[in-house]
Amino acid sequence: MSYIIDRRLNSKNKSAVNRQRFLRRYREQIQKAVSDAVSERSIKDIDKGGKVSIPSKDLGEPVIHHGNGGHNTRVLPGNKKFSEGDRVERPKEGAGAGGKKASDSGEGEDDFSFALSEEEFLDFMFDGLELPNLIKRQLSGVEEFKKVRAGITNEGNPGKINIVRSLRSANMRRIALTAGKRRRLQELQEQLEMMEQQPASERDAVLFHAVQSEIIKLTKAIKHIPWLDTFDLKYNLHIKQPVPRSKAVMFCIMDVSGSMDQPTKDIAKRFFILLYLFLQRNYEKTEIVFIRHHTSAKEVDEDEFFHSRETGGTVVSSSLKLMQSIIEERYSQNEWNIYGAQASDGDNWGDDSDSCMELMNNKLLPLCQYFSYIEITPNQHQSLWHTYEAVKTHHPDRFSLQHIITIEDIYPVFRELFQKKVA
């Protein structure tokens, strides 16, 4: 009797390869299911894995089979109603068996449900997204290094020995040291063969023994050449090479004024949570600055940004001025990729929109790689939207604005803002 023992490292996940093939094959349907799930979930569960469903009809595969052409004669067992030659009336249109698609609730086929891990869910959520215009900048004093191959050296530790180069060097050394001896040995062996062919009476005995002795001496000398010498050892050389570092900072600006009711604030929070998860997951060296504002703006931490409740009037320029001062104080344009994301219902105080345009055009956008504005309102666009439309005409590559009405619009708008651009 023979036994098969599974010694694979992922023995508990034997279907991992099949699962990855399934996820690749139905990527489009799964992405749509993830998009729907993002809109339906609560804020605290937005990044969790869990069940998603895709229509069973999308899982169908093509099947090759014979058609119904030709003459067929069939005798079916248990047939007491019909005889051969009887004509069977065609079922009326709309009648007949519904097969597996039938349903007493009118829903048709059941959806195919399966569970995605948190890692897989986030992979599909942020697939194809990137920070626009991200530039790698070389920083002095805080460089990162990576080890790269830099040829071969004669010194090193045993773990970096280059076996092929070492054996090649040893072979070359043995050839160089024994080449003359081997030629002389070959000449003596040929001379010895000629002497052995002569009759013993005619052979010079003294010369014969001298040739034999020299052959033995040369053979021993060749064998005494070491097969591998410390001189032959070659090691892979690795050196540290500075790596340009992509450092980025994202400014998250949220309006918490009285005109922003709680549902509107929840939509804004949901958008920024998506942005926060995207940055944390894809950009290790990205810092996030949270700014909340009503008539005045202040920098807050993550917890206060998402959970604190405030209200008041609306002066949008206060947040833009704070963003400018933070950039000047902490984030040099020569070292950082600077991004901004702003969420508001579009309401603004008096003539403050003109100040916003001045700050955007002359102060912030010349420093930023990209700035996105979302307006959350079911009504007509407010004054801030029209101001920012004028800003976009001057900076079409660095500024974008989108309109959100309901929760369902958040994820599509987010993907539109950060969709990977094809060169």
Please state, in angstroms and rounded to a whole number, the distance separating the CA atoms of residues 330 and 336.
Answer: 10
pLDDT of residue 283: 74
User: How many other C-beta atoms can be found within 10 angstroms of the C-beta atom of residue 399?
Assistant: 22
Q: What is the pLDDT of residues 175-207, one digit of tens each?
A: 888 888 888 888 888 888 888 888 877 777 788
Rounded Cα distance between 262 and 130, Å, is 30
pLDDT band with cut points at 50, 70 and 90 for residue 340: very high
Tell me 165's DSSP state: H
List residues bridging with 288 in a β-sheet. Answer: 250
pTM exceeding 0.85:
no
Confidence band of 75 (pLDDT split at 50, 70, 90): low
Those residues whose C-beta lies under 8 Å from the C-beta of residue 384, and which sit 6 or more positions away, are: 316, 344, 346, 347, 348, 353, 356, 373, 375
Mean pLDDT of 356-382: 90
Weakest mean pLDDT among 99-113, 170-184, 260-274, 313-327: 99-113
SS3 238: strand
Between 363 and 335, name the one with better pLDDT: 363
pLDDT tens digits, 143-183: 566 787 888 888 888 888 888 888 888 888 888 888 888 88
Q: How confident is the model at residue 357 (pLDDT cuts 50, 70, 90)?
A: very high
Digit-coded pLDDT (tens) for 255-303:
988 888 888 888 888 888 888 888 877 777 788 899 999 889 999 998 8
Residues 294 and 312 sit within 8 Å (Cβ to Cβ): yes
Greater confidence (119 vs 391) lies with: 391
- Across the range 210-231, mean pLDDT stands at 84
Packing angle of the helix pair 205-223, 163-197 (nearest 10 deg): 170
Q: What was the pLDDT predicted at 204?
A: 79
Structure tokens at 273: 């949570």
pLDDT of 76 over the 70 cut: no
What pLDDT score was predicted for residue 48? 66
pLDDT tens column, 36-66: 777 666 655 666 666 777 776 656 666 777 7
E strand segments, 100-245: 111-116, 144-153, 235-243
pLDDT in tens, 3-28: 555 555 554 555 667 777 777 777 77
Whether pLDDT at 139 is above 50: no
Regarding predicted confidence, which is higher, 96 or 146? Answer: 146
The per-residue pLDDT for 381 is 86
Distances (CA, A) of 392 to 95, 248, 370, 415: 58, 22, 11, 19
Q: What is the pLDDT of residue 209?
A: 85
Asked if the model's pLDDT at residue 399 lies above 90, the reply is: yes
Looking at residue 96, its pLDDT comes to: 45
Nearest to 222 by CA among 272, 183, 194: 183
Report pLDDT for 295: 87
Averaged pLDDT score across all residues of the chain: 79
Pairing of strands 50-55, 111-116: antiparallel
Strand partners, 290: 252, 300
3-state secondary structure 333-363: CCCCEEEEEEEECCCCCCCHHHHHHHHHHHH
Give the 3-state secondary structure of residue 315. Answer: coil
Q: Report helix angle 118-125 to 27-40, nearest 10.
A: 100
pLDDT of residue 374: 93
- Residue by residue, DSSP assigns 240-284 as EEEE-B--EEEEEEEE-STTS-HHHHHHHHHHHHHHHHHHHHH-T
Greater model confidence, 51 or 366: 366
Using a pLDDT cut of 90, give the percent of the chain over it.
16
